[in-house]
């Protein structure tokens, strides 16, 4: 059987930009990730996307214009990737594009990811697959997280339970028991609240290298108020987003007078603590945790995780499993595109709560 190349495009809840990853498959068999490209969002684009998180005027028009803008940026990222690898568009079987989430409301049966998929197919000349969440939602699932089936295909061990932790805007885990179906769920905020607090106080999109957080101290009372959110008492499957964990929600739990650095430091511990609590509940026999996503670049957060999990659970990067932690999510959507092409059910229904495993996505010819 010949090998095929696929490109996955992911823009996460951190809204920092678009990642594209080129992978090689042989039918349904993973052959490896080959290359990566990243295009950052402009400050204006990021703000326009954030504005759509809240009810506002002319939303239908704004969202459609933003879908076109995003697809042009995605196409630029694809062409950059192909140019750097000296590959023609004809070499790629399909693109798998997640789009940019602006509303996630599984309780109402929908989740909105912005992307003009026919436009992306036209601009790249490559068959494009997207709208991955709708089929799972239609089958009664949460539509998220979608990556546990991918994590299982690549990372499952025959003898030990592993957990793959993705820290993006939201944190989510995939639990990979040996020789059983994977499951997973959103543990709560990842970088999202930290980023919102940075923007609110210092007009910076994120805390580079955790430098601001390192200047603060954890506020135990605030931490306990944040941990009291009812989301953490809900059983999985479950998923969440900015709708529950917003800047306004955070500000409503402040008493006033807190030093901004202390609030930020507390938010870092909040992310780490909610991850630890989720793993303790869902996978108490875990001995190795593998981390991916942007949060891995925050040394304060990674130290908190190490302190909370040590010595019972080893903390590793997915690089130890031969996949760069910054490539994992985009690679997952390339893999989902391969599943669509090969008509293979790919939804992790044990993670999402759907009635059955489905072939996810909808295809658009160039």
Residues annotated in a binding site: 12-19
Q: Which residues define the annotated binding site for ATP?
A: 12-19
Distance CA 182, CA 335 (A): 16
CB half-sphere exposure, 320, CA atoms < 13 A:
11
Copy the structure tokens of residue 120.
């992306």
Exposure class string for 187-223: b at 16+ Cβ within 10 A, else e: bbbbbbbbbbbbbeeeeebbbeebebbbebebbeebb
Q: What are the strands of the beta sheet with 170-176, ordered from one edge?
A: 183-189, 170-176, 162-167, 288-292, 314-317
Place of tokens 């989430």: 101
Q: Are strands 4-11 and 17-26 parallel, antiparallel or unpaired?
A: antiparallel
> Bridge partners of 5?
24, 92
Copy the structure tokens of residue 105.
């409301």
């Amino acid at each position: 059987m010949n090998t095929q190349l696929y490109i996955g495009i992911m823009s996460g809840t951190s809204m920092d930009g678009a990642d594209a990853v080129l992978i090689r498959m042989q039918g349904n068999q993973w052959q490896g990730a080959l290359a990566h490209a990243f295009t950052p969002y402009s400050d204006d684009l990021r703000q326009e996307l954030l504005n759509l998180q809240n009810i506002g005027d002319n939303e239908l028009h704004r969202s459609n214009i933003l879908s076109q803008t995003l697809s042009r940026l995605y196409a630029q990222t694809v062409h950059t990737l192909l140019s750097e690898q000296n590959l023609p568009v004809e070499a790629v079987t399909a693109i798998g594009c997640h789009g940019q989430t602006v509303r996630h409301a599984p309780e109402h049966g929908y989740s909105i990811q912005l992307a003009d998929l026919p436009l992306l197919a036209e601009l790249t000349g490559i068959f494009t697959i997207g709208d991955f969440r709708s089929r799972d939602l239609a089958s009664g699932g949460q539509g998220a997280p979608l990556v546990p089936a991918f994590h299982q295909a690549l990372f499952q061990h025959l003898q030990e339970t592993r957990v793959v932790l993705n820290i993006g805007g939201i944190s989510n885990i995939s639990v990979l028991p040996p020789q059983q179906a994977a499951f997973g769920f959103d543990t709560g905020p990842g970088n999202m609240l930290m980023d919102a607090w940075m923007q609110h106080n210092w007009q910076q999109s994120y805390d580079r290298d955790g430098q601001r957080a390192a200047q603060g101290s954890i506020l135990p009372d605030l931490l306990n108020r944040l941990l009291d959110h009812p989301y953490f008492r809900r059983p999985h499957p479950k998923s969440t987003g900015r709708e529950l964990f917003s800047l306004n929600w955070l500000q409503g739990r402040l008493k006033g007078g807190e030093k901004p650095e202390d609030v930020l430091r507390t938010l870092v511990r909040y992310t780490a603590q909610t991850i630890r609590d989720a793993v303790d509940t869902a996978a108490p026999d875990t001995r190795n945790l593998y981390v991916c996503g942007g949060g891995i670049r925050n040394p304060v957060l990674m130290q908190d995780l190490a302190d909370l999990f040590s010595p019972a659970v080893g903390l590793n990067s997915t690089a130890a499993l031969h996949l760069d932690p910054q490539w994992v999510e985009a690679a997952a959507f390339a893999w989902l595109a391969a599943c669509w092409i090969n008509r293979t059910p790919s939804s992790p229904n044990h993670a999402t709560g759907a009635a059955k495993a489905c072939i996810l996505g909808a295809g658009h010819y160039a």
